[in-house]
Structure 1
Amino acid sequence: MFPARRDFEQMILNTGTGILIHEAASKNILWANPAACRMFGFTLEELKPLKAHHMSAQERQYRREVGVAWLQSAVVHGSSRKQWKYRTKDGVDFLTDARATLVRCEDGPVVMVEFRNISDEVELQEELTWVSESLQRIMTHTAAGLVILDDDNCIDDISPLAARLFGRTPAELSGVHLEDLGKCEPRLTSDHVVERLAAGAGSVSILQEIGKDDGTTSWLAGELEIVAHDGIRSRVLTMRDVTDRVEWERRHAYQEANLQYLSRYHAMGDMAMILAHELGQPLAASTNYLSGLKSRLAAETVDARSLSYGIDQIERQLKRAGEIVTSVKRYVRRIESTAVLMDLNETIEESLYFVRLRAAEQGVRVFAEIPERDLYVHGESVLIGQVIINLCVNAIEEIVRPTTEVKELAIETGQADGHVFVSIRDQGRGMGTAPTNRLASGAFSAKQDGAGIGLIISEHIVERHGGAIEYLPNDPRGTEVRLVLPLADNNV
């Protein structure tokens, strides 16, 4: 005999599963059983006017439109199941396993949502997953060697494979202090190790150096952590042989140090060339200005403004010479911190002062197209400026040849593909007859008496700044020399 209708009602009223009845069309709450009211902390009358966003968690996946879509899915398909996080009257979120079912009643269709709190189940599952993963990690590392230490860091137990890493048997190693077998880095008694293990903040990486009887050395890498099981806390160390890796790292470090030495050695040669070649320009200019001053002093009348101008120019040239020497000293030391963030356009403007002086003496017009925006690079401003001066002077010497009809030097800066560039163009003979590899090595010089030293120095400087110098045909004739440098990261 089936239970009476009232019996069914009593079952619904006394079940621990929460039940919400929503109107199918509007999704408004029509009714809730006592279990649902207890979970939410609302009375039935308080629940009825609430919407999804009033009684759901605030995360995006629980926003109102998602909840309405879930209930609508039950209307369309008959039922829909979902994990939904509700919120109590006190603002406490709880996760539920909820099923929405379409029920056709005499007064119209409704959606019945049955839900149960699964927050504790999820927390338990996460804990079990963590334990399982920890055990799996231990099992994985066990193949590399497992050591159980007591509170004094003496070996309480050790796997056969771990014992072989030390070249002993498990019986020989029982009770032996781990650091008696070889130096550990960091020390097991160091504050870092003790505090990290006491806080349960994960594992501590240990590197141990083992001296063998044949005089060789092996290296063991380990992860030391606290593992709790059956009410016992054990210090577990998983170890594996990393001798090959450590030896490779040491060889690599030696090679890096040797490369740094060779780099500084070659940089000394660069410095000698720079001092011999680059200082010639400001010193020669200073000599010329001094000769001019001597001539004016020998004249019957002395123009104070001319004297002041000459002295200012000598001071400027000598200051530049000092800057070159200071910059070269820093450059040779190969210290990263000497490279500063510099605006290439600002360096161009400073360099053009000297370029225009040289060009004016030779009757060459200079056209510079420099954008107002900053073009930041990491480098030595004086050295990069000297490279630009060298390239421009080479172009001017080509422009002043009798066969060059257009006496113009064009300079342009810009940015493309994560790099900045300086383009220096003339309409001279061009460099197409020179082999590309000779250009790249800086061994080419169009001047009869030129040794190409300026190009060699310039290319060395640019390469050490991570850039390059490109030699291209100019349109309609002549040469375009393009200096390319990496754009600073903070300006990309």
Structure 2
Amino acid sequence: MRRRYLSGQAKTICYVAGIWLCVSVGICGVFANSEINRIKEEFSLQSEATYEIVRQRLDENDAVLAGIDSLLQTFPEADPKGLREYSHEMLVRYPHIYMVELQPRVEAAQLDRFESWAKATIDPHFVVKDFGYGGQRAWHAARGRAVYYPITFMEPSAEAAHPVLGLDVYADNKFKSAIDQTIASGRPSVSAPFDLFEGGRAYLIFKAIYARAIEPPSDLASAGRGKTPGVTDVATRVVSLLIYAGKFLGPGELSPPTASLRIYLQGYQRDDPLGLVQKTSARPKSKWERAVFPELIFSRTLSNASQPFVFETRRQLGIDVLRPLPTGLTLVGTLLILLLASTAYGDKIAARAAVRDARRRLFGEKEQALVTLQAIADAVITLDSKGRVQFINPVGERMFGIEHYQAFGKFVEEIVDIEFDLAHAASQSPFERALATRAMVTLSDNSFVLRRDGQKILIEGTISPVFDQEGALTGVVGAMRDMGPVRKKAIEALRASEQRLQERQDELTHVARFHSMGEMASGIAHELNQPLSAILSYNQACVRLLQEEQLDLPAIADAMRATTEQAKRAGDIIGRLRAFIAKRPANIVSLDLRQSVANALELSEPWLGQSQADVVIDSTSDELIVRADAVQIEQIVLNLIRNAVEATEHLPVSQRKILLRLRAVDGSGVLSVCDTGPGISPQARLKLFLPFHTTKESGMGLGLSICQSIAESYGGKIIELSGDSPGAEFRLMLPLQEESGTAYAN
């Protein structure tokens, strides 16, 4: 009997052990799968973040190279000090950029003269040289070749790096191919990676700087594609960035020790040392771990045309996917449940575990809620059903100007004073309203908190009631946000937008002045031809007088004085034109509208003479002082006169009449421009001031639109009047300036 009992007990133990073993394997598999999925997601996020950091570094390289390229293209003879200051600022900002170098293109025939210049301006010991023949790490005089690209500028300019000055980078094949590529394409190119003497991997980014040359260079590799026949774009120098790949990632950005990282050139294998830019290895795993657990791989080509790299991270999973503590606890709990499933003690254990878990969750929820209230950017205040303060988060302490321990237990009216702008009568406190109505109260847009020190803080937010399980009101929670910074940002954005709009308006106004000058080109040429012809005649007369035996000095002097007057006349014409079309910011001053009309007539004199139109000026004797930019007002007047002349150019000469009338009307200076042309049709009148609408065959459709914008910017306007008389009438109305210096509002 004893043997049977022991046998049955052993069988039960075997059954329980077998079931427990199967369950344990299943649980371990579930835990392992869950952890693998978590690690996969974490690995993917970390790899994506690291990829974005590396991609950003590559974009920073392009940005710095583009900045130096733009500086050298804009200022070809730029002071090295300015380039050095810019390079130093970029090196400080981007630590992974190890050095900025500049290599001019030197042909063999120019080598001696170039070295003499470099010794005088760069370094007394400067010489073009090579480094390391036959595997020897030593300096050698540069071998004979058609073209050299020696280093003449380095930043940082360390004392220990001075021997590198004069090194011909074109002698190294891995650099030569990159230089040839950037010269041929005009785009940045990278060299093959190499080891730094200080340790770590690096590579160079080259960018060719072009200049125009009439004669092609001796080596066709230095010539770009010229767009003008007979003119060749020559790569006169090359700028390069030495990139230290080991500093792509900062201390907090490196991959975890469980993952490996590879960055290598496209077209190379991941472990090929010739194309390897950066490499970090993870701790090795055992063979059985590599056989059982998967390897996570993240590989992506970096989206940078000038630096064609492949980014790859790998992580070999191992036994660490089974977390010891939760796995062990789960297996032990499973064994206990199997052994004691039929006993009341097992029920009690399960119940106690459930209570502990509930308490833990409750504590965790409370802690999470408290941390959330402490961390959010809104001010939060909680009251009990009597209106006494129970809690204020740190943002609320700063907003209300009181610490939490000082406010606890006090009535909210003693702590928080919420008022409303433009309120005619005292309003009920939103806290009292929420407690009374048992409903959420939304603060209006004109709400503000009045602090004890008198400061007003514009706010928005809500006051919400809180109920218990039985529906009884237990208090309210107020959440308020300081709207001052938001409004400030909105105002700043509006001002920036207005500034950009003004800049576009100035550009368009400048273009319109150029267009006006283009249409007046023939008249201007005729006007300039008169003084130039007179100068020629007087000079020829002087030559004849000087060739005579008896010199007539008074006649020669009169001819020379006449030549001077005609030259001054031509200079005055050109000066007026340059002042009119010059690109400059608006200079708002007090000016007489009558003088602006006179200046515009003087500027259009050649053009008016050519059209033979009869211009009549009917002006008041009083000053018409307005506040505006003189050139812009002259532009408006010139445009209106030009429109009137063009409207009458198809009429007989005797009928070409233009009337300019200047008056002061209701606090405004008014200029009326009337013509005897065919007038404006009702259809054209509807779109008269719209941009890009014109009735002229070669018109831009911007003249009246720009003039209207200029007039409106000074508080005025341009109107078109229709009447029974033939022709058209346009009126420019600008507010007159008062004696105090302000202008009438029209």
- State TM-score, norm by structure 1: 0.47
Q: Larger strand proportion, structure 1 or 2? A: 1
